[in-house]
Amino acid sequence: MFKNKILQIFLLFIFLAISLILFKKFNKYYSKNDYAKIIILSLLAINFFFGFIIKNFSKKSLIFFSYFFLILYSVNSLLVYFDLQNIPEKKMEKILSKKGMTFDKRKILEVVKDKRLQGKDIYPHVVPREFLKQNKETIPLTSLPNTLFVSCNEFGEWKSIQTDELGLNNKKFLNSFDILLMGDSFAEGSCVNQEDEPANLFEKNHKLKTYNIGISGNGPLMSLALAHELKSITDFKYIVWFIFDNDFYDLSLEKNSNYLINYLDTNFISNNYFSKIENEIDFQKRYIEDNLDSFKSGFSLKESIVELKPLISRINKIISQKEPEDNIEYDKEIFRQVFDKIVYLYPKKKIFVVYLPETTCFKNRSIECSQRFEEIKSFSDKIIYLNFFEYIKKNFKNYKEMYALGQDRAHFSPNGYNELVKFVYNNIQKQ
């Protein structure tokens, strides 16, 4: 009798603990369409609740939990094994092997350490988004200036970039040019050789001198902040803004920063960021060195095994019929304000917003991606909108040749960047 009472109290305690977690996390999980966690926690809460109120069910409640736990982690372990056999790196290695090429298997931290042993002052490419995730009140808008970084590897070799005096991926700072290129890693030219970066292609192929302020991980508010800070120190003819598919949900992170939200205000003057950029150097270097081990990439034991990430992501995908990152709703009103502000900042410039598709747009999200373009197109009648998604569909039988080694969720291939720049240039010529 006494043992049963102890067991029931224990089950009540577990029920209350799970209910508290569910109560505190529900809005977060629901807003991110993380239905799997809600379902798992709800099932456990119900199980322990009935184990508490029904005496005959107490032991069965623990047995159910044990089997439930065992099944979850067994299935998840099989999924982890499957995922490890099909990670992008292994797929790239197979593709390159067929071409007689090799794949550099080192992680980014290993590359940095090897380069440093050779005497190079080099860092992993830490971008402003990293600081945004730390909920900093003020954040750097660019990477370290005049610094060599290891950035990414989608073609078998790790790419390095050298930032200019403003911390941007250009050979040097320009105060007068033809195109201000804005956006995230696609504007930055991630993973391709320097000659195939879009800024260099505009100049090499079309004689349009271009200054690139694209940075990996930047969403609409980060891009707007950079354009705002550059206004007083640059002069140019056109703005070309690459809006990639993930920019729609980058806003969910950026809108939580008061520092960035200030840039939406037409009365906001400036943070004078570039006049104080030297103040950011020591802070960023110290942050990188202090967190160097956290920049390892690849398999995470904690995420994959302990947190059941492979199983949970698949359950969410089955429920919503989308990848987890495609489920996040974006704030249309803030997007509208971002475009209104860029027009306000540069009323006399020709502004081109170019929608870039993610690979799933060609598979199971075609209607959604077309709708997204139509939505942003409705935000301002003072911007020229270009749909690179439709261009690829109409002109190429195999969309995969536009992406690095034809891989899903990759950046563009050299051919992809060349076609993108040609597409934009032809539309500039029509104006």
9-26 tens-digit pLDDT: 888 899 899 999 998 888
Q: Does 84 have pLDDT greater than 80?
A: no
Q: Mean pLDDT over all residues of the chain?
A: 90
User: Counting every residue, how long is the chain?
Assistant: 431
Higher pLDDT, 84 or 347: 347
Phi, psi of 209 (to 5 degrees): -65, 130
38-64 tens-digit pLDDT: 999 999 999 989 888 888 888 889 999
pTM of this structure: 0.83
119-134 tens-digit pLDDT: 999 999 989 988 887 7
Report the share of the chain in percent with pLDDT over 90. Answer: 62
Give the other-Cβ count within 10 Å of 391's Cβ: 21
DSSP 3-state assignment of 401?
helix
217-247 tens-digit pLDDT: 999 999 999 999 999 999 999 999 999 988 8
Question: CA 286 → CA 123, 184, 281, distances in Å?
Answer: 11, 24, 8
DSSP 3-state assignment of 222?
helix
Query: Which uninterrupted H or E stretch holds 7?
Result: helix 2-31
Q: Does 294 have pLDDT greater than 70?
A: no
Compute the distance between CA of residue 157 and CA of residue 24 in angstroms, rounded to an integer. 44
In order of their start, the domains of the chain are: 2-85 (no CATH), 108-297+331-430 (3.40.50.1110)
298-316 tens-digit pLDDT: 556 566 777 788 888 888 8
Q: Does 424 have pLDDT greater than 80?
A: yes
Q: Which amino acid is at 364?
A: N
